[in-house]
C-alpha cells in the first residue's frame, strides 16, 4: 500500500493554480497598500518582487522534492538534515496555519453564499456557521476519495479561478485603454507619494507572500506526481510566472476602479471592485467568489493530511495516520484535520492571520534552505536529479532573514514575544510526544480498533520508494 503516482503534467498545473490562487489576491491588497504608505509604484513593485522571490524559493524546494520524491518531502528532508525536533516544529507551524486557514476559507465561502439573500444587512451568524460546517465535512468526504477525485474537482475549479482573474485583469485593461479620467487619474503623480520605511516594506512583503504560499503544495504531494523530476520544476516556473502576471494585472485593475482609501477600508477588495463594475449582479458575484474559493479549501485538507501522513511514517505521531483506505488515501488523517478545523470554525469569526501564517512559512523556508546547504556540504555525491543554482539558495536565505528580522529590529513590540512563545509551545509538544512514544504499547489496541473502523492498511516504508536512497 502506498499513495498513487496518478497526477500528470496537466493535473499538476491545475492543482498548482488551485492551491496558489486563493484568498490572498482578495484580501492582501488592503494590507500591502497600507504598509506601502499608499505608494502605488512601491505597491505594484512588491507584488512583482514577491513573485520573483517565491519562484526563487520554489526552485530551491524543487531540489528537495526531486531528491526525495515522496509525500511530505519537506518534513522528511528536515528530519534527515536538521533533526527530529526541527521537523516536528515545522509540522507544528504548518498544521496550526492549515487549521485556521481551512476554517476561515469555509466561513468566507458560506458568508459569500448567504450574503446574497440578505442584501443591505449582515448575514446571521448561525446559518453561516452551519453552512460552513457542512461545506467543511463535504470537502473532507471528497478528500478521502483519493487523489484522482481531488485532481478532477480542482481542475474544474482551477479553470474557474483563472477565468475570474482574467475577467478582472481584462476589465482593468479596457478601462485604462478607454482613458476615462476617473480611472487614469489614480495613477497620476504616483511617484510623488511618500516612501515606506524598511519595517513597512517587510510587513508588506509578508502580506504578499501569503498570496504565493500555495506553491509549496507541489512539494507536499511530490509522492503522487508522475515524473516529478521533470514536472515539478516546469510547473513551478510556468505557473508562478502566470500567477505573478495575473496578480499584477488584477491589482492594476483594482487601482483603476477603486481609490486607495476604498481599497484600505474594504474587507474583500474583489467584492468592492465587482460592486462598482457590475452593480446589478450581486448574486453572481457571490457565486463566483464561492466557486473561486472551493478548491483552495480542498487543497488545504489534502496538504495537511499529507503532513500527518509523513509525520506518522516517521514515527512522530501514531501510525494510524499513515494507513490508507481502498482509495489509497490517508482517511484517518483527513478526518482528524476536518475535526480540528471545525473547532475554530465554531468559536471564531472570519479572522485572517495573514501576517502570522506568512511569518511561519518564512521561518520554515529558512530552515529548509539551511538544510539544503548542510546536505550539499555533507553529501555532495548524493544523486540530485535537479540541482538548484547555489546563489539562489543564498538569495532565499537573505530575503527570508530580511522578512523575519527587519520588523523586529525596526519596531519591536509585544507581538514578537507571542510569536516566540508559540514556537516554544511547539517544542513542548515535541517533548510530550517523545515521552508518550515510550508508552506506545498502550495505544496499540486503540490503533487496532481504528484500523478496523476505517478499513485501512499500513503503508509502505517511504525510503523504499526513493531511488537515491536505494542507490546508496
* pLDDT tens per residue across span 209-242: 878 877 788 888 888 898 888 899 999 999 999 9
CA–CA dist 341, 133 (Å, integer): 9
* 270 within a domain of the structure (yes/no): yes
What percent of the chain is predicted at pLDDT more than 70?
A: 85
Query: Is the pLDDT score of 467 beyond 60?
Result: no
CA–CA dist 140, 103 (Å, integer): 12
For residues 298 and 102, the answer to whether their CB atoms sit within 8 Å is: no
* 2 within a domain of the structure (yes/no): no
Quickly tell me which residue has 503532513 as its cell: 307
Give the pLDDT of residue 96: 79
Q: Which helix (H) or strand (E) holds 270?
A: helix 269-277
> Residue 457 in 3-state DSSP?
strand
Of the given ranges (86-90, 184-188, 310-314, 398-402), which has the lowest mean pLDDT?
184-188
CA–CA dist 278, 280 (Å, integer): 6
Rounded mean pLDDT, 361-389: 88
Grid cell, residue 13, equals 498545473
Rounded mean pLDDT, 339-361: 67
Highest mean pLDDT among 58-62, 108-112, 177-181: 58-62
Confidence band (pLDDT; 50, 70, 90) for 183? Answer: low
How many domains would you assign to the chain? Answer: 1
Task: Look at residues 11, 16, 26 and name the one whose alpha carbon lies nearest to residue 58.
Answer: 16
Measured CA angle at 304 (ends 129, 294), to 5 deg: 45
* 3 within a domain of the structure (yes/no): no
* 1 within a domain of the structure (yes/no): no
CA–CA dist 254, 270 (Å, integer): 8
Query: What is residue 225's DSSP assignment?
Result: B
CA–CA dist 146, 148 (Å, integer): 6
For residues 51 and 284, the answer to whether their CB atoms sit within 8 Å is: no
CA–CA dist 15, 19 (Å, integer): 6
Number of CB atoms found within 10 A of residue 68's CB: 25
Query: Is the pLDDT score of 164 beyond 70?
Result: yes
Quickly tell me which residue has 494507513 as its cell: 323
* 311 within a domain of the structure (yes/no): yes
Rounded mean pLDDT, 302-316: 85
Q: What Å distances lie between residue 208 and 32, 65, 101, 400, 449, CA to CA?
A: 7, 24, 16, 13, 45
* CA of residue 124 relative to chain centroid, distance: 29
For residues 132 and 139, the answer to whether their CB atoms sit within 8 Å is: no
The secondary structure of 411-426 as a DSSP string is S--HHHHHHHHHHHHH
Give the pLDDT of residue 242: 93
Over residues 53-106, the pLDDT tens digits come to: 889 988 888 999 888 888 888 888 988 898 888 888 888 888 877 887 788 778
For residues 95 and 307, the answer to whether their CB atoms sit within 8 Å is: yes
Confidence band (pLDDT; 50, 70, 90) for 439? Answer: low
| Mean pLDDT, rounded, of the chain | 81
Burial class (CB in 10 A: 0-12, 13-18, 19+), 138: middle
Give the pLDDT of residue 351: 40
Give the pLDDT of residue 247: 93
Confidence band (pLDDT; 50, 70, 90) for 471? Answer: very low
* 432 within a domain of the structure (yes/no): yes
Of the given ranges (235-239, 316-320, 465-469), which has the lowest mean pLDDT?
465-469
**Segments forming the whole domain that contains residue 159:** 9-471
For residues 465 and 72, the answer to whether their CB atoms sit within 8 Å is: no
Q: Is 146 left (phi over 0), alpha (psi -120 to 50) or beta?
A: left
* 202 within a domain of the structure (yes/no): yes
Measured CA angle at 31 (ends 252, 415), to 5 deg: 160
For residues 115 and 86, the answer to whether their CB atoms sit within 8 Å is: no
Grid cell, residue 52, equals 520573483
Rounded to two decimals, the pTM is 0.83
Confidence band (pLDDT; 50, 70, 90) for 470? Answer: very low
Give the pLDDT of residue 436: 64
What percent of the chain is predicted at pLDDT more than 90?
A: 10
Q: Which helix (H) or strand (E) holds 136?
A: helix 125-143
Query: Is the pLDDT score of 374 beyond 50?
Result: yes
Query: Is the pLDDT score of 349 beyond 50?
Result: no
Over residues 133-155, the pLDDT tens digits come to: 998 898 888 888 888 888 888 88
Give the pLDDT of residue 350: 44
What CATH number does the domain containing 424 carry?
Answer: 1.20.1740.10
Rounded mean pLDDT, 22-41: 83
For residues 396 and 60, the answer to whether their CB atoms sit within 8 Å is: yes
Query: Is the pLDDT score of 176 beyond 70?
Result: yes
Q: What is the dihedral of CA 108, 109, 112, 118, to 10 degrees?
A: -100
Over residues 391-434, the pLDDT tens digits come to: 999 999 998 888 888 777 777 777 667 667 777 777 777 777 66
For residues 46 and 281, the answer to whether their CB atoms sit within 8 Å is: no
* 403 within a domain of the structure (yes/no): yes
Over residues 251-292, the pLDDT tens digits come to: 999 988 888 888 888 767 877 887 788 777 767 766 777 777
Task: Look at residues 172, 135, 370 and name the one whose alpha carbon lies nearest to residue 253.
Answer: 172
Amino acid at each position: 500500500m502506498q499513495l498513487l503516482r496518478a497526477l500528470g503534467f496537466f493535473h499538476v498545473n491545475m492543482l498548482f493554480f488551485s492551491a496558489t490562487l486563493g484568498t490572498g489576491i482578495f484580501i492582501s491588497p488592503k494590507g500591502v497598500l497600507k504598509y506601502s504608505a499608499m505608494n502605488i509604484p512601491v505597491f505594484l513593485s512588491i507584488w512583482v518582487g514577491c513573485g520573483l522571490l517565491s519562484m526563487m524559493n520554489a526552485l530551491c524546494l524543487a531540489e528537495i522534492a526531486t531528491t526525495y520524491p515522496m509525500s511530505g518531502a519537506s518534513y522528511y528532508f528536515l528530519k534527515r538534515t536538521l533533526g527530529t525536533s526541527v521537523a516536528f516544529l515545522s509540522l507544528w507551524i504548518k498544521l496550526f496555519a492549515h487549521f485556521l486557514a481551512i476554517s476561515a476559507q469555509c466561513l468566507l465561502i458560506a458568508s459569500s453564499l448567504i450574503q446574497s439573500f440578505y442584501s443591505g444587512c449582515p448575514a446571521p451568524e448561525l446559518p453561516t456557521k452551519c453552512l460552513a460546517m457542512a461545506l467543511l465535512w463535504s470537502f473532507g468526504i471528497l478528500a478521502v476519495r483519493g487523489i484522482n477525485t481531488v485532481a478532477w474537482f480542482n481542475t474544474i475549479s482551477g479553470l474557474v479561478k483563472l477565468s475570474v482573474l482574467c475577467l478582472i485583469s481584462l476589465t482593468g485593461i479596457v478601462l485604462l485603454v478607454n482613458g476615462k479620467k476617473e480611472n487614469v487619474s489614480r495613477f497620476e503623480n504616483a511617484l510623488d507619494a511618500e516612501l515606506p520605511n524598511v519595517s513597512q516594506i517587510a510587513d508588506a512583503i509578508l502580506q504578499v507572500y501569503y498570496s504565493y504560499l500555495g506553491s509549496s503544495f507541489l512539494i507536499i504531494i511530490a509522492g503522487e506526481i508522475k515524473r516529478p523530476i521533470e514536472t515539478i520544476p516546469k510547473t513551478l516556473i510556468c505557473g508562478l510566472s502566470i500567477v505573478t502576471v495575473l496578480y499584477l494585472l488584477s491589482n492594476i485593475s483594482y487601482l483603476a476602479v477603486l481609490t486607495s482609501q476604498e481599497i484600505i477600508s474594504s474587507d474583500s477588495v474583489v467584492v468592492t471592485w465587482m460592486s462598482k463594475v457590475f452593480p446589478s449582479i450581486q448574486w453572481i458575484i457571490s457565486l463566483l467568489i464561492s466557486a473561486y474559493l472551493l478548491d483552495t479549501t480542498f487543497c488545504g485538507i489534502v496538504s495537511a493530511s499529507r503532513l500527518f501522513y509523513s509525520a506518522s511514517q516517521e514515527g512522530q505521531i501514531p501510525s494510524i495516520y499513515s494507513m490508507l483506505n481502498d482509495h489509497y488515501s490517508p482517511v484517518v488523517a483527513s478526518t482528524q484535520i476536518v475535526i480540528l478545523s471545525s473547532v475554530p470554525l465554531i468559536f471564531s469569526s472570519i479572522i485572517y492571520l495573514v501576517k502570522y501564517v506568512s511569518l511561519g512559512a518564512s521561518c520554515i523556508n529558512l530552515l529548509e534552505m539551511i538544510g539544503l546547504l548542510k546536505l550539499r556540504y555533507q553529501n555532495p555525491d548524493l544523486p540530485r536529479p535537479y540541482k538548484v543554482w547555489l546563489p539562489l539558495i543564498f538569495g532565499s536565505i537573505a530575503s527570508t532573514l530580511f522578512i523575519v528580522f527587519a520588523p523586529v529590529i525596526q519596531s519591536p513590540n509585544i507581538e514578537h514575544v507571542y510569536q516566540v512563545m508559540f514556537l516554544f509551545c511547539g517544542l513542548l509538544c515535541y517533548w510530550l510526544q517523545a515521552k508518550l512514544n515510550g508508552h506506545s504499547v498502550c495505544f496499540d489496541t486503540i490503533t487496532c480498533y481504528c484500523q478496523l473502523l476505517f478499513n485501512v492498511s499500513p503503508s509502505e516504508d517511504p525510503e523504499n520508494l526513493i531511488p537515491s536512497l536505494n542507490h546508496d
